[in-house]
Each structure stands twice: as structure tokens, then as C-alpha cells.
Amino acid sequence: MNELSLNHGVIYLRGEVKFLTVTRLSQQLCELMQPNVHALDCSGVTQVDSSILALLLVALKRAKKTHVNFSLKELPEAVNKLVTLYDLEALVAATEPRPL
């Protein structure tokens, strides 16, 4: 099972993110992306394939449209490996919170 939930400006992603689920998750993500949303927390992700990158890019694009300072949090190691494989490190690094 997989799901997205919103709590205090953070969208929490849980479960598997795979080709068969990413379209539905993307639609749900777009519904949850509001101007007050500032992060996508992936700590509850259990399994992924490369389609998770599409989901992350949707989140980043929506945040950019609303001019929100947005971050990706708690990316699982498998996602970090995909980010490296697809040469997206700069894009993901740009979302990391900066020290005050």
C-alpha cells in the first residue's frame, strides 16, 4: 500500500513508489501541493523503481510554480542511487535546507 498525507506543511510519502502506482500518487501530490507546503518527506518509502524520480520532479515543478522554498527530505538510499544514476544530484541538492 502507498499513500500521501499532509501535516503541517509537509507531505509524507509512504509505501511503494513504482510504475504501477506513480500516476495515482502524482495526481494526489498535485492535489496536496498548496502554497503552504514546504517539504516532501520520503522516510516512509519502502520500495522504489525509477518512476519515483518522476514523482519528485512533479513536486519540484509544482513548488517552483508557487514560488515555495521546497525541500525533499529523508530520501531512501535507493532513491539517492537513482538520483546519482540519472545525474540529478544538483537538482536534489538545491532543495536541501540551508543553514541560517
CATH of domain 2-93: 3.30.750.24
Domain boundaries, the chain: 2-93
Residue 46: CB atoms within 10 Å: 12
**What are the pLDDT digits (tens) for 23-41?**
999 999 999 998 889 999 9
- Model pTM? 0.89
**What are the pLDDT digits (tens) for 60-75?**
998 888 888 899 999 9
Query: H/E element holding 47?
Result: strand 39-48
